[in-house]
Every structure is written in structure tokens, then in C-alpha cells.
Amino acid sequence: MEISSAFDRLVRGDESGAITKACGAVESLVRALYEKNGWNDMPDSFQAKVNTVMKRLRVFEKMRTELSQIEMRTDDIARIVEEMQKTTNHAAQALQVIRRAMGDVHGTKPALTRTAYDSIKWASAICGLLEDAV
């Protein structure tokens, strides 16, 4: 729901609000997963929250298992999973910095349309990796 709100903000020309909404979608999902699983030790940083949830839910181990079930080559599986882990980590890092620098629920901080669009894509990708866990 918040991802669609982020797109709505972007369409209306509120880039900083779109960034805030995109990051908020990830944050809300992470908080829901912490609550659902009874985890009480949520890290402070956005990136650490994302990485901790991914690790605790074994997202990339499950990905490895799923890929092996379609009989992919072992080295291809390893490379895909490794790249997905790195990509997710980099996306979370970027979102953390972008939200701090450009995100603003009131739309008063200057932000770039392209950066807002990219933030929505990265937030969608992170949420997509976690969707089965909710």
C-alpha cells in the first residue's frame, strides 16, 4: 500500500514525499516482521534492520534452495544469491542515505525525480524479497 502511495506522490511532483513513502514501506514491513516473530532487538539503522530481517528469515538460503529445485548449475546459483545479497545491501544503504538527505513527508526538501523513482524501485525489490514472510 505504501509503495503505491509513493508512486502517487511521485506522479504529483512530490519527490521527497515519494522517497519517504518508499522507505516507509520497507520500514513498516520490517517492523511488522519483527512484531510477528517476537524479535525485540531491532537495530537503529535502516540498512541494519533490512539486513537483519533478511538474515533471520533466511531469505537468501531459501532463494538458493528454490534455485536448486529448478536444477540450475551450482556455480550459477551461488553467483545469483551472492549478487542478490550484495544488491539488497547496497539498495538498503542507498535508501538510508537518500531518505536522510532528500526524504520529507511534507515535501519541503529538494529531491530529484530520478532518485525518487529509483528509491521506489529499490524499496519494491526489498519488499518483494520479504513478501512471503508476512
Structure confidence by residue, pLDDT tens digits, 24-45 = 999 999 999 999 999 999 999 9
CB 3 within 8 A of CB 123: yes
Query: Does this model's pTM top 0.85?
Result: yes
Output the CA torsion sign for 5, 20, 125, 55.
negative
Please state, in angstroms and rounded to a whole number, the distance separating the CA atoms of residues 85 and 13. Answer: 32
Range of the domain at 32: 2-133
* 3-state DSSP percent of the chain in helix, strand and coil, to 5: 80, 0, 20
Please state, in angstroms and rounded to a whole number, the distance separating the CA atoms of residues 109 and 92. Answer: 21
Our count of domains for the chain comes to 1
For 6-10, 102-106, 125-129, which range has the lowest pLDDT when averaged over its residues? 102-106
